[in-house]
Amino acid sequence: MAKFTPHTENEIKQMLSDVGAASIDSLFADIPSGLRPASFNLPEGMTEYEALNRLGSLSAANRTDKALFMGGGFYDHFIPAAVDAISSRAEFYTAYTPYQPEASQGTLQAIFEYQTMTAKLTGLDVANASLYDGGTAIYEAAAMAVRTNGRSKIIIDAGVNPVYRKILKTYVINQDVDIIEVDLRDIYTDREKIKSLLDDRTAALILQTPNYFGIVDDYSDLFKLCDEKEITKIAVFYPMSLGILKTPGEMGADIAVGDGQSLGLPLSFGGPYLGIMAASKGYVRKMPGRIVGETVDRNGKKCYVLTLQAREQHIRREKATSNICSNQALCALRAVVYLSLMGKEGFRKISLLNLERASYLKEKLVKFAEIKQGVTYNEFTVKLNGGAGEFVKKMEKKGYYAGIPASIYFPDKKNYLIVAVTEKRTIEEIDKFADAFKSAL
């Protein structure tokens, strides 16, 4: 059994004598004997070697040997080794929340730089230190809108990741907030329907580009309409795409939220990921979560602290802007290291490369399959003749995860397959995939 308590018998004796207790058990005397566990039936401990062996076989029981053409908001991007090297520095990962600034300047400055990069990337003024994931970030953005304008109707396009929409709906089950989901016309945003719904009871409009089916859109027109009615404009984005695509800021969004998984985080079966939130200046005091600010110390030296803490639960309790405490700080660190390594040109290029590889596959597939019309980035929708669910099973046998059957969330779209291509898929891989695709049709 591995053990991490260093006490020797002798030390235990000395400590008990200092405490004035007869035994360790006597320290638990406040727990009434009638409340002692009915059972505590756990296996015997393992050595580190045994435990890692066990984890090794569990890891091997997952099939990760197939080429991933599956996205759905979470993508198989390359992660430079330096990202792991920095995030596995114990000075970062075994530290706590930087409440003691003199002992946490490393974490604080890294977050401050992360805030800067995410704000610039989204084209907005400020960003917070991170939220849990893209979905919870959408809820937090909607809550900011409700707090800002005091209204209770949230309009959300059904092109927003269905996983995120589920989270949003679950969060508000006991609140006086109406979530109105606007169905897509096929796979495209129904602008007329949205326009007809925007009214002075509307707190926020939430739109995503590229949408779940991969369609790239410019929502400037809808956001402009929101301005007339003082509706908060929330854009959901895919960070990788922002190397080349129009930003939430350029579209006029007030708040941008998205999942930062694509910025140096492994897929890791769904987490930990990274909820990114950026906003225009006017919203900063309504923002949830931690925010790092620059200031000076007693000697006038530049330094960083957690700021605007009066918004937060440890000060404001039930009146806080959110209940969030722990966030995804280490994931934010990975993102800031990733973006720093990529740099201005590298990030634009990697972003473009994703588009290039996806366009290449599209050109191949269009010869024998129906690809849904529209501008797309690195993900697009194929309409098959049969069910997409069966198709991906066939493709799995050929060595590919060919995409996400839309029917997981859109039961009426049985034949729709959503296919993603990242920079990691080589030309050879894509060629072979296209061949396999053809033969599986």
Asked if 126 is part of the footprint of another protein (rule: CB under 8 A), the reply reads yes
What does the alpha-carbon distance between residue 233 and residue 208 come to, in Å, rounded to a whole number? Answer: 11
Q: Between 229 and 389, name the residue whose CB sits nearer to another protein.
A: 389
Which tokens go with 9? 């018998």
CA angle 62, 67, 69 (to 5 degrees): 110
Largest CA distance in the chain: 83
| Pick 25 or 192: Cβ nearer another protein | 25
CB of 401 to another protein, least distance (A): 7
* Cα 38 to Cα 255: distance, rounded to the nearest angstrom: 51
Contact between 439 and another protein (CB under 8 A)? no
In the list 144, 153, 155, 171, the residue contacting another protein (rule: CB under 8 A) is 171
User: ω into residue 272 within 30 of 0, thus cis?
Assistant: yes
In the complex with another protein, the residue whose CB is nearer, 156 or 329, is 329
Which tokens go with 377? 């980035």
The footprint of another protein on residues 306-365 (CB under 8 A) is: 307-310, 312-320, 322-331, 333, 337, 339-350, 352-353, 355-356, 359
Residue 423 binds another protein, judged by CB under 8 A: yes
Between CA 122 and CA 128 the distance in angstroms is: 13
SS3 67: strand
- Please tell me whether residue 73 binds another protein under the rule CB under 8 A: yes
Any contact of residue 367 with another protein (CB under 8 A)? no
Residues 138-167 that bind another protein (CB under 8 A): 143, 163-164, 166-167
Q: x/- binding map, residues 183-202, to another protein, per CB under 8 A?
A: --------------------
* 218 binds another protein, rule: CB under 8 A: yes
Query: Alpha-carbon distance 194 to 261, whole Å?
Result: 29
Confirm or reject binding of residue 33 to another protein (CB under 8 A).
Answer: no
Number of residues forming the site for another protein (CB under 8 A): 205
Residue 135 or 159 having the CB closest to another protein: 135
Give the whole-angstrom CA distance, residue 257 versus residue 160: 11
Shortest distance, position 31 Cβ to another protein, whole Å: 5
Q: 363-401 in b/e burial notation, b at 16+ Cβ within 10 A?
A: ebbeeebebbebebbbbbbbbbeeebeebbebbeebebb
Q: Note whether 64 binds another protein by CB under 8 A.
A: yes
The token duo for 95 is: 């530290």
Which residues between 232 and 271 bind another protein (CB under 8 A)? 242-247, 249-250, 259, 266-271
Q: For residues 378 and 418, what is the distance between their CA atoms, to the nearest angstrom?
A: 11
Nearer to another protein, 28 or 228 (CB): 28
Q: Which residue's CB is nearer to another protein, number 199 or number 233?
A: 233
Q: What is the Cα–Cα distance from 245 to 122, expressed in whole angstroms?
A: 10
Among 226, 392, 406, 430, binds another protein (CB under 8 A): 392
Q: What is the three-class DSSP state of 157?
A: strand
Q: 3-state DSSP call for residue 270?
A: helix
Q: In terms of CB distance, is 6 or 196 closer to another protein? A: 6
- Contacting residues for 85 by C-beta, under 8 A, at least 6 apart: none
Contact region for another protein (CB under 8 A) — 91-99, 181-189, 197-205, 431-439?
Answer: 91-99
CB of 16 to another protein, least distance (A): 7
In whole angstroms, how close is the CB of 225 to another protein at the nearest point?
Answer: 18
Between residues 98 and 159, which has the closer beta carbon with respect to another protein? Answer: 98
Does 12 contact another protein by CB under 8 A? yes
Window of 84-92, 146-154, 198-206, 431-439 that interacts with another protein by CB under 8 A = 84-92
What residues form DSSP beta bridges with 406? none
Q: How far is the CB of 227 from another protein (least distance, A)?
A: 19
In angstroms, rounded to a whole number, what is the distance separating the alpha carbons of residues 306 and 299? Answer: 19
Per-residue binding string, another protein, 269-308, x by CB under 8 A, is xxxxx----------x-----xxxxxxxxxx-x-xxx-xx
Distance in angstroms (rounded) separating the CA atoms of residues 368 and 6:
67
- Strand pairing report for 370-371 and 178-182: unpaired
